[in-house]
Amino acid sequence: MPRTTYREALREAHREALQRDPRVFLMGEDVGRYGGSYAVSKGLLAEFGEARIRDTPLSELGFVGAGIGAALGGLRPIVEIMTVNFSLLALDPIVNTAALYRHMSGGQFGVPVVIRMATGAGRQLAAQHSHSLEPWYAHVPGLRVLAPATLEDARGMLWPALQAPDPVILFEHAQLYNLEGELADPPPAVDIRSAAVRREGRDLTLVTYGGSLPRALEAAGALAAEGIEAEVVDLRVLRPLDMATVLASVGRTRRVLVVEEAWRSGGLAGEVLARVAEEAFFELDAAPARVCGAEVPMPYAKHLEEAAMPMPARIVAAARALMGP
């Protein structure tokens, strides 16, 4: 199989969508001449022209609103926001318009827009460029929230997202853009409904998503060297949650640890654990646990940034504690 990167897989996903559907276009800051803040759209302007690769002013409120209007007008826009922190400037059109339009119109209209944004820490860009606000969006009815963490999902999630009748938020962890590996050609089909088991195991379940998936897999490898076989479940669809896959795994392993880069309070980790407790309490051999980001603005200094994130050593320690003495 040919080798590629997460960034290149995303670029090919855009190229395929632009070729398959003339209604699809990309808009955002620096997506055209510059090739995208993370080089995802590099070369697409020359290939598809300014009508379909549109550089926008530096105004998230303005261009996200324009994307929503284009979707209501029958187009299929992909709106790129440079980083999740900047998406807060566009919360009103996303939450109060896009997410609610089907409900407010009595089911007559949807907003088929895909909003992409980078998320997460690990690059020493300090607090205003490094937070993980995925749980905020996963809280909102009317949105579908995706977090591709593999080459296959980076390549395959965009097209089904564009077919959805309502808004889709697509989170790309910035540390994943350079992820390299093999990807089948043609790539496998990907659904945007279900979680995925990334590693099978018998002793405990590690549940995670996005940029924490590689760390959870690294921790699972370290645990295996100690004789502890961890099953790793990649949520990848943050709203609606696929709890059936999580509960099936917990039913096999009888222990669960959720790993999330976002803050602990009000996070998805707590939601997953609450649902496990509600639906599988008597399947558990140990109290469910979580490893989350420290509840601080993300530090700039590298050693402090790493201390604030759920790194493999913390995951391994929490997993050992779940296994008991």
Same domain, 165 and 200: no
Q: DSSP 3-state helix, strand, coil percentages of the chain (rounded to 5)?
A: 40, 20, 40
Q: Which of 127, 149, 182 is the last residue of a domain?
A: 182
- Nearest CA among 299, 304, 156, 312 for reference residue 230: 312
CATH number assigned to the domain comprising residue 241:
3.40.50.920
What are the pLDDT digits (tens) for 269-308?
999 999 999 999 999 999 999 999 999 999 999 999 999 9
**pTM, entire model:** 0.96
- Rg of the chain taking only CA atoms, in angstroms: 20
Same domain, 217 and 108: no
Same domain, 171 and 267: no
Same domain, 219 and 178: no
What are the pLDDT digits (tens) for 137-162?
999 999 999 999 999 999 999 999 99
Contacting residues for 313 by C-beta, under 8 A, at least 6 apart: none
Is 187 within a domain? Answer: no
Is 44 within a domain? Answer: yes
Same domain, 256 and 156: no
CATH number assigned to the domain comprising residue 36:
3.40.50.970
Instruction: Specify the number of domains making up the chain.
Output: 2
Which residues are marked as active site? 60, 129
Same domain, 101 and 217: no
What is the full DSSP assignment across 219-245? Answer: HHHHHHHTT--EEEEE--EEETT-HHH
Same domain, 152 and 77: yes
CB 13 within 8 A of CB 146: no
Same domain, 201 and 279: yes
Q: Residue 276: its pLDDT value, please?
A: 98
Burial bucket for residue 306 (CB in 10 Å: 0-12, 13-18, 19+): middle
Q: Which domain holds residue 64?
A: 3-182
φ/ψ of 62, rounded to 5, equals: -70, -50
| Beta pairing class for 168-173 and 144-146 | parallel
